[in-house]
Amino acid sequence: MEARAHNRSVINDAVAFEAWERGDPMKLSILLPALCLAVAAHAQPTGANEQLVLVGVAAPLTSPRTESGIAAVRLAFDDANRRAIRIGGKQLVFRLLVEDDKGDALFAAPIAQYFIRSKVVGVIAHWNSGPSIAVAELYSAAGIPQIPIATTSSRFTRDGLRTTFQIQGHDGIGTARLAEFVVRNLQAARIAVIEDGTAYGTDFADSFVSGVRRAGGNVVSREAISSKTSDFNPALTNVQKANADVIVFGGVVTQSALLARSMLRRDMSVRLVATGGTATGLFLQLAEGVERNVWALETGAPRERLPGWREFNDKMRVHFKGEISHYALFAYDAANVLIAAIQKAGSLDPKAVTTALHEIRYPGLTGIVSFDANGALINPAYTIYRLEQGKWSVEKVLLEK
């Protein structure tokens, strides 16, 4: 029984994954049709009373930001397999097709096509806003629901595609709350904005600047950097010339940590406000020596205040020993809301599952999960964390009503 249960646990598509790791798109283009011959419908029989259900998962798998998130997705589907969910008299056996899109739209497109050919019921993909936006129309044309874990760009649901859903609040909401906090709570008089040039960073900066203006604040500098750079000196030189008293950064934690270290080396007393998973142990590790004057906006309420956090943490610790990021909580909800929509639809037709997602009100780990007509999360929460003496603490919880 244990061996059989293990065989039913979520799996990685090793052949396709290895092709990507070798950087061999031609080999993959040959492999995918062959792989897809084994998948002739959205759900495949595995036994007389079983139905195989494929779900696509894509993220930059080598990034430390994604590890706990992917583990949480696996946990949710393993739990579902143990619950023995039945539709049409057959027990569903969920399996994951997990692919590394490297956070790049060029990799995301053929992966999306692979998922579509494989006839997945839905996808927990892609991680970053850029790749998610780039392939949204592909999934939409196929009628496959798309629930990314960390895509917060408002552009993702702005086009009104029926198949796009955001498990986290989008930046149009979060940045407005953050702008009010920076202007009113931090009493910033001269604000500088630095963004990483990605879809996420640019949308964040645009929304934040608009929010500052509505709040009566003053943006004195806006700088754009490469999402791959570690040299912040040109941007920081301009910020110093503008005499800013707060820097707001739109980018991921790896860069926000490097930015904080650069500010420390330059002996800048300017306060830093960041996003993108900054309020984590990873930031503390990468920003060695930075112990104060940093604030971070994160989606969701503080985990310690969530009723299901302790149980979730205990389950995760059975198989995952690293830091559990806040992304893991949303990843768990993304997987479970897809499972709940399949049950609500009573069908494995992706279009029926999409309809169910539009109607669902799911009691998730992070709170009630329901979506507006465009697929944006309704009533998202946000938390501002503050770094003091090398530790993160809750500064303020922002609830959207």
Q: Residue 385: its pLDDT value, please?
A: 97
Mean pLDDT of 376-388: 96
31 and 109 fall within a common domain: yes
Q: Which domain holds residue 229?
A: 172-299+382-399
Mean pLDDT in the chain? 89
Q: Residue 200: its pLDDT value, please?
A: 86
> Is residue 128 scored above 60 in pLDDT?
yes
Q: Residue 292: its pLDDT value, please?
A: 92
Q: Residue 159: its pLDDT value, please?
A: 86
* More confident: 22 or 392: 392
pLDDT band at 63 (very low <50, low <70, confident <90, very high): confident
Q: Residue 64: its pLDDT value, please?
A: 82
pTM of the prediction?
0.84
The CB-based long-range contact list for 209-217 (8 Å cut-off, 24+ gap) reads 210/175, 210/179, 211/175, 211/176, 211/178, 211/179, 211/180, 212/179, 212/182, 212/183, 214/176, 214/179, 215/179, 215/180, 215/183, 215/184, 216/183, 217/179, 217/182, 217/183, 217/188, 217/191
Q: Residue 46: its pLDDT value, please?
A: 60
| Per-residue model confidence as pLDDT tens digits over 144-194 | 999 999 999 889 999 889 999 999 999 888 899 999 999 999 999 999 999
251 and 160 fall within a common domain: no
> Is residue 343 scored above 50 in pLDDT?
yes
127 and 176 fall within a common domain: no
> Is residue 36 scored above 80 in pLDDT?
no
Q: Residue 48: its pLDDT value, please?
A: 75
Whether 376 is covered by a domain: the verdict is no
295 and 313 fall within a common domain: no
Q: Residue 31: its pLDDT value, please?
A: 36
Nearest to 390 by CA among 266, 283, 274: 283
187 and 279 fall within a common domain: yes
How far apart, in whole angstroms, are the C-alpha atoms of residue 115 and residue 99?
10
> Is residue 22 scored above 90 in pLDDT?
no
Q: Residue 45: its pLDDT value, please?
A: 54
| Per-residue model confidence as pLDDT tens digits over 70-111 | 999 999 999 999 999 999 999 999 999 999 999 999 999 999
152 and 12 fall within a common domain: yes
What's 247's domain CATH number? 3.40.50.2300
363 and 215 fall within a common domain: no
Whether 375 is covered by a domain: the verdict is no
164 and 176 fall within a common domain: no
* More confident: 31 or 132: 132
236 and 332 fall within a common domain: no
| Domain count within the chain | 2
Cα within 13 Å of Cα(48), Cβ side: 0
Q: What is the residue-wise DSSP string for 332-359?
A: HHHHHHHHHHHHHHTS--HHHHHHHHHH
206 and 179 fall within a common domain: yes
Longest Cα–Cα distance of the chain, Å, equals 72
Cis amide leading into 326 (omega within 30): no
pLDDT band at 8 (very low <50, low <70, confident <90, very high): very low
